[in-house]
Amino acid sequence: MTEIEKRQDRSPVPSAFDYAPAPESRDVVALEDRYGLFIGGEWVEPKSGDYQPTISPATEESLAEVAYGGPEDVGLAVESAREAFENGWSDIAPSERAKYLYRIARILQERSREFAVLESLDGGKPIRESRDVDLPLSAAHFFYYAGWADKLEYAFPNRKPKPLGVAGQIIPWNFPLLMLSWKIAPALAAGNTVVLKPAESTPLTALLFCDVVRQAELPPGVVNIVTGDGRAGAELVKDSRVDKVAFTGSTEVGKEIQRAVAGTGKKLTLELGGKAANIIFDDAPLDQAVEGIINGIYFNQGHVCCAGSRLLVQESIYEQVIAKLKRRMGTLRVGDPLDKNTDIGAINSKQQLEKIKELVAAGEEEGAEIFQPPCRLPEKGWWFAPTVFTNVAQSYRIAQEEIFGPVLSVLTFRTPDEAVEKANNTPYGLSAGVWTEKGSRILSMSQRLRAGVIWANTYNRFDPASPFGGYKESGFGREGGRHGLEPYLRFE
């Protein structure tokens, strides 16, 4: 053995390979101490006089005070939207409307870093996701619907599409800016004006969006933002001058809204919860499938209505998939949402954390086997380690109820028929994933699964051109694509 070979023989294995923190700078965001309501293109004090702090879930610090609009405030916002609709917005040339939307899209792109940092600060989602998913998709939505604004006649030939009037929109806290874009872009493209209520725990990007609205010189009153809690939302739904209600959020609230608009003639779309099945067949490429499983359930801490929260694995590859999955989970980094290396950020609110804990406890009690990779959670803030349950029966709460957290339940199946039956055995029907090498199997599964969105060999992939929405208790109506315009139009 030569001298060099001897030395190589002894070459040491490092004890660890740690990554230095790579936090994104907070300095790009300038927050006010206090935010009012954005009505008629102006910041106004709420008549209710009520302000509440909005809290960063990663540090529990208060970021700013935000107005909580009351009935009077909501009324003013609807009035201003109605006025903007009657006096101008519905009459301007559609190509002009398109210009405004293009302008908003470009400004969002230009200011994307600022928005991404703020989204992560206020909502707790990893900066990697807000930077690479939320912001590009938000801008893409405005670009996409800007294109439709002057082509409505071609989208719906011979049906004479006309705008509805005022759209009242209520959005959730899991993708605050993206959901805002999903709502506002098609509404404006169709010629409506909007009153939007952001979620109470994540209002800041919507408030920063008001700045974009001003920068784009949108006529006052076309976009109104009223922050507040469920009471403001209920007022907005109730208001008789609202022609269309769009809601994304929990099934429970969705049912209430449906009751409230019953008999009023208001148009309604609901995008509610889900308990999606992610189905892995034995001919799937396993390493890619494991990445898909991880992306399906741990994306945005599992705060995704279409999250692949039920994993259905064919029995012949069960052991292998679980081993690979557990190893992959060990490499997930939980921590500071602003760190570019973080995979899983903070749980959005304390209530949500309590709900996740309750359901996980129920899972353990019912007899499922729990696995969590060893990981240190930060002391301050709200966190939950990535979790997987095996030995799950279909009747367990963790297999039936939407957890909306980083918790995966694993079931097995033997035949495609059994997979379909188990996947459809849920009150929801929003999304599903199929992993297989066979194209024919993908097609047959997609016809038999009762879900609005089916991903093949991928998961959680979004595009503004593709309609998104659910079956059964996951709601009705579609957002995105040409289908997303329809709920904002009336036809003669």
Partner 1 sequence: MLEAIRDVYEETGRKIGMKPAGGIRHAKQAVQYLVLLHETLGVEWMTPDLFRFGASSLLNDCLLQIRKEKTGRYQSPDYFTID
Looking at the annotation, which residues are catalytic? 271, 305
In angstroms, what is the minimal distance from the CB of 87 to partner 1?
56
What Cα–Cα distance (Å) separates residue 437 from each residue in 424, 441, 453, 466? Answer: 22, 8, 19, 23
In angstroms, what is the minimal distance from the CB of 191 to partner 1?
48
Q: Which is nearer to partner 1, 15 or 240 (CB)?
A: 15
Pairing of strands 387-390, 407-413: parallel
Structure-block tokens of residue 6 = 């001897």
Position among 1, 2, 4, 15 found at the interface with partner 1 (CB under 8 A): 15
Q: Which is nearer to partner 1, 46 or 335 (CB)?
A: 335
Q: Residues in contact with partner 1, total (CB under 8 A)?
A: 12
**Exposed/middle/buried for 44, CB within 10 Å: 0-12, 13-18, 19+?**
middle
| Residue 12 binds to partner 1 (criterion: CB under 8 A) | yes
Distance CA 187, CA 145 (A): 9
Interface positions, 260-289, toward partner 1 (CB under 8 A)? 287
Q: Which is nearer to partner 1, 42 or 282 (CB)?
A: 282
In angstroms, what is the minimal distance from the CB of 8 to partner 1?
6
| Residue 11 binds to partner 1 (criterion: CB under 8 A) | yes
Position among 3, 17, 30, 158 found at the interface with partner 1 (CB under 8 A): 17
Contact pattern from residue 316 through residue 355 relative to partner 1, giving x for each residue in contact according to CB under 8 A and a dash for the rest = ---------------x------------------------
| Residue 16 binds to partner 1 (criterion: CB under 8 A) | yes
Q: Which is nearer to partner 1, 11 or 240 (CB)?
A: 11
Query: Would you tell me how many other CB atoms lie within 10 Å of the CB of residue 210?
Result: 21
Q: Which is nearer to partner 1, 138 or 342 (CB)?
A: 342
Q: Which is nearer to partner 1, 240 or 331 (CB)?
A: 331
41 Rama sector, left if φ>0, alpha if ψ -120 to 50, beta otherwise: left
Piece of the chain touching partner 1 by CB under 8 A; list 10-18, 95-103, 179-187, 241-249: 10-18
Piece of the chain touching partner 1 by CB under 8 A; list 11-19, 222-230, 356-364, 396-404: 11-19
Structure-block tokens of residue 298 = 């741990």
Distance CA 235, CA 94 (A): 31
Position among 8, 95, 316, 351 found at the interface with partner 1 (CB under 8 A): 8
In angstroms, what is the minimal distance from the CB of 346 to partner 1?
23
Contact 449, 416 (CB under 8 A): no
Position among 6, 14, 25, 395 found at the interface with partner 1 (CB under 8 A): 14
In angstroms, what is the minimal distance from the CB of 19 to partner 1?
8
Name the residue among 489, 464, 478 with its Cα closest to residue 140.
Answer: 464
Name the residue among 248, 315, 280 with its Cα closest to residue 408.
Answer: 280
In angstroms, what is the minimal distance from the CB of 12 to partner 1?
7
Helices (H) and strands (E) in the chain, counts: 17, 20
**DSSP assignment string, 25-65:** PGGG----SEE-EEETTEEE--TT--EEEEE-TTT--EEEE
- List, in sequence order, every beta strand (DSSP E) within 198-344: 223-225, 244-248, 267-271, 277-280, 310-314
Q: Which is nearer to partner 1, 191 or 292 (CB)?
A: 292
In angstroms, what is the minimal distance from the CB of 396 to partner 1?
31
Contacts with partner 1, residue ranges (CB under 8 A): 8-9, 11-17, 19, 287, 331
